Chains A and B, each alone.
Chain A
Amino acid sequence: EVQLVESGGGLVQPGGSLRLSCAASGFTFSSYWMSWVRQAPGKGLEWVANIKQNGGQKYYVDSVKGRFTISRDNAKNSLYLQMDSLRVEDTAVYFCARESLSTSCYDYWGQGALVTVSS
């Protein structure tokens, strides 16, 4: 059974940092692109970043470029999101999601981790 389990969320002050983790199981993690998608309270879904199977390609939404870093450790079946210089508007539930091979969609999602940026 495919499972994606996020951790590392919490309350942080503006300007602070936080690192999210996503533990993957039930599939060959190293074979898939992976993404982070966020959802601000009461709002819609927003793609944040994604990373290629070997970590060699990474893409970000403009609003987080230079502040967030996506990475992965295939030996540990884990995906990460390092979030620096956090802003109030980064407050959201962050989901890790698996990009389906060759079908242009997300076929599995984690349960989400809440990040609250507030003073």
Chain B
Amino acid sequence: SFKLTQPPSVSVSPGQTASITCSTDRLDDRYASWYQQRPGQSPLLVIYQDSKRPSGIPERFSGSNSGNTATLTITGTQTMDEADYYCQAWDTTFWVFGGGTKLTVL
């Protein structure tokens, strides 16, 4: 199996760009997805297949995957984006989640 490593926390000022990384070996062999989870809510898919946005997700959310690191970028971060973010990837017969990153907007 493999492990996905995320920073525990990231802070950003409103209107600035937030970047959250997700790393492991050979991540570019797999698709990465990203989920947003606000307190008391279920996770919400914000990026899939490394860089695609589901319908209804704002354009300020974008993703990339290169080498051994996937990155979620939020451009023009808003206070409503404050949440936990999890990366995820598939490994043959099981799913793996990163440990999560708490994004603070202040």
Residues of chain A having any CB pair with chain B under 8 Å: 35, 37, 44-47, 50, 59, 61, 95, 100, 103-107, 109-112
Contacts and interface: CB of A to CB of B under 8 A. Distances in A.
Size category, B interface: 20 to 34
A110 B95 CA distance: 18
Tell me what chain B mostly uses at the interface: helix, strand, loop, or mixed: strand
A104 to B, nearest CB: 4
Contacts of B99: 44
Contacts of B35: 45, 106
* Interface pairs A-B: 8 shortest CB-CB: A105-B33, A47-B95, A105-B48, A44-B100, A109-B42, A104-B31, A45-B97, A59-B93
A110 B43 CA distance: 9
Q: Looking at A35, A50, A59, A109, which has the most chain B CB atoms within 10 Å of its CB? A: A109
A59 B88 CA distance: 17
A98 to B, nearest CB: 10
Contacts of A47: 94-97
